Amino acid sequence: MGFELIAALIAAAACGLLAWALRRHFKAMPQWSVPFAAAVGLLAFTIWGEYDWYRRVSAELPPEVEVVEVAEEAMPLRPWTYLKPIRMRFLALDRRKTLVHPQVADLRIVTLYSFARWKPVEETLVAVDCAGNRSIMLTPGVEISAEGVLTGAKWQPAAPEDKLQQAACREG
């Protein structure tokens, strides 16, 4: 966050200095063009940074970590997001940590990472029943027995196009 603030201030200063140099060269430019250019530079960098956040973070993920859900948001304090919503959070499945139940081959325990703008990454375990097309988040009190029976919660059905379900049940 600190680096983004510094980068935004540098963008504002660069735009302001460019306007100042142009104003010195072209005397007809109004006085307010320098602070206006600085404000435009600050706002443009901030908007670019918010729209580019998802691309930058997801590009740094290892190939074994697959993005399974992306949430886009439109916000009243950012009216431009109604034209093109911002990707503010996403879920990624770590295929390196997928565990297959020893007794029930269609039962998997997967690790999900939750990424959100301005928040630390959260790690969650999810049980996925590939045969039953259902899943459940493993929280305290929710357990899967040695026989593969869920206790402490009820399975949640997955939609046919659920990318988490598809990624967890994919072989290899």
Q: What share of the chain is helix, strand, coil (3-state, %, to 5)?
A: 35, 35, 30
CB 130 within 8 A of CB 106: yes
pLDDT in tens, 13-60: 999 999 899 888 888 888 898 999 999 999 999 899 889 999 999 999
**Largest separation between any pair of C-alpha atoms in the chain:** 82
pLDDT digits (tens, 9 = 90+) for 125-170: 999 988 888 899 988 988 888 888 888 888 899 888 889 988 888 8
- State the pLDDT at residue 62: 95
Rounded Cα–Cα distance for residues 147 and 131 (Å): 15
